[in-house]
Structure 1
Amino acid sequence: MSEDLRVLIVDDDFHVAKLHAGYVDAVPGFTALRPVGTAEAALRAVRTQHPDLVLLDVYLPDALGLDLMRSLDVDVLVLTAAAEASAVRRALRRGAVGYLLKPFGAEELAQRLRAYARYRRMLAGDRTVDQDTIERAVRTLRLPQAAGPSRTRSATETAVLQALAAGGQHSAAAVAEQVGVSRATAQRYLSALVDEGVVEMHLRYGSTGRPEHRYGVPG
């Protein structure tokens, strides 16, 4: 994506909202809009500023954030101290892309924002996608990568990454030929790397109309 994803923070605690805005701005590819503190202001900001993502508290002075979700035609990540299971169920039922309990640190939010960015890349635009892409997008959204030291990669996985290191987009068959493995094996490693966020997948439509998966490292 060429432009940053715009994030609106809805929280009636000014200091918390400002802190979270700083967290958002520290993540490459994201820009925090000016936070708002009421449901009414949130509706107005969504209509006029068109954010890509709303970080929504449950407890607002003029409405419950979970009720506000019915009126927001935008992706919502709930950030709240409301730990009741019923609140979590209601948020997910109304389409929340995630639910993060306060208090949390910058990296915890960054993990979810990076997962959201990968989800948006997988489902970018109005192109047609296959079931595998849908499943991986949902899996990426629900299971952000945990922070921690990088794991040791196998020799085959390292070779797959090296095959993509020159840049551009490559088919699984081309990667398989360069690495010296079967296409199915290359496809398995590529799919795992896409889920991890290390590799991006794109669809290219040929003359037959059947889309071909192409893989590359993020630019």
Structure 2
Amino acid sequence: MIRVLICEDDFRVANVHESLVGQFASFECVGKATNVQTMMDQINEQDIDLILLDLYLPDGLGVEQIMNVKAAAPNVDIIVITASDERDHVQQAIRYGVYDYIIKSHSFERLEQSLANYVSYFNLMNRFAPFDQEHIDQLLGRSLKPESNAFHDLPKGIDGMTLQHVHQLLKAMAEGITAEEMGEKLGASRTTARRYLEYLIQLERAVAMPVYGVVGRPERKYFSR
């Protein structure tokens, strides 16, 4: 389970973020903080994997918060969700190693995409087997090796690493899989899983067929082509 801390002083925004986190089976929201002091207390009191961090909190402004978090808990990942589009903030946040930086005007759909991508990143990062160069390239968001089955020119809302993972899972499921089942395997919502599965159909990498369940209602199942 990926343990998430939400750091946001607007309780309405924090509740929206908590609701979105709750749609993913792989995430557990372990706390919310409305200021830097509470955030640091929670980081020191419990294990946190991921922080959703607003840069503008009542007792702390700017990217200094990122430095404080990293100093206290170097292994914590951070997704910045902020109103700041200032160049210095963006540049410094990236240099300090945040996983993602989301401007609030684009936050809901963009955060859903980021969380889905993070599940794949977290699972790969915490694998027990040794890393090969391909795994390292995926973690760093680089693809230096051209592959015949690679996905290119992806639309907004589709992440290449997640799409590749969905495709691999689908190929391994000879009996087919529903969007809900795929979401459980990804640790993502059914809506997110369906978006990737439907995109594979557009690419002619998958097909979908209605399958009747025990109550007689048709269920859409996806199969690899």
TM-score, normalized by the shorter chain, greater than 0.5: yes
2:9 corresponds to which of 9, 12, 16: 12
Q: Structure 1: how far apart are the matches of 2:155 and 2:28?
A: 21
* Residue identity opposite 1:117 in structure 2: V
Query: Given the alignment, which residue of 52, 55, 60 partners 1:55?
Result: 52
Distance 1:145 1:23, change over 3 A: farther
Distance (whole Å) between structure 2 residues aligned to residue 77 and residue 147 of structure 1: 17
Greater RCO, 1 or 2 (C-alpha within 8 Å, sep 6+): 2
Alpha carbon RMSD of aligned pairs, Å? 2.9
Q: 1:162 to 1:9 in 2, by over 3 A?
A: closer
Q: 1:56 to 1:164 in 2, by over 3 A?
A: same
Gaps of 5+ in 2: 143-153, 159-166, 176-199, 206-225
Amino acid at match of 2:157: A
C-alpha distance in 1 between matches for 2:141 and 2:33: 30
Matched with 2:120 is 118
CA shift for structure 1 position 49: 2.2
Q: Percent of aligned pairs with the same residue?
A: 31
Aligned to 2:32: 35
Q: Distance in 1 between matches of 2:19 and 2:56?
A: 21
Confirm or deny: 8 A CA contact 1:111 1:145 kept in the other structure. Answer: no
**Structure 1 residue 145 displacement after superposition:** 7.6
Per the normalisation by structure 1, the TM-score is 0.62
2:136 aligned residue? 134
Residue 125 of structure 1, CA deviation? 4.7
Detail structure 1 runs of 4+ shifted over 6 Å in the superposition: none
CA contact (8 A) 1:8 1:51 kept: yes
Q: How does 1:51-130 map to 2 (within 5 A)?
A: 51-72=48-69, 73=73, 74-125=76-127, 127-130=129-132
Structure 1 portions without partners, runs of 5+: 149-157, 168-192, 199-219
- In 2, the alpha carbon distance for the partners of 1:28 and 1:162 equals 19
Aligned length: 154
Q: Distance in 2 between matches of 1:15 and 1:162?
A: 37
Structure 2 residue 148 is matched with structure 1 residue 146 = no
The structure in which a higher percent of residues are strand is 2
Whole-angstrom CA distance in 2 between matches of 1:145 and 1:117:
20
In 2, distance between residues paired with 1:22 and 1:135? 32
Per-residue CA deviation, residues 150-183 of structure 1 (Å, 9 max, x unaligned), is: xxxxxxxx8x77752249xxxxxxxxxxxxxxxx
2:167 pairs with 1:165 = no
User: Residue in 2 aligned with 1:175?
Assistant: none
Change (3 A) 1:161 1:92: closer
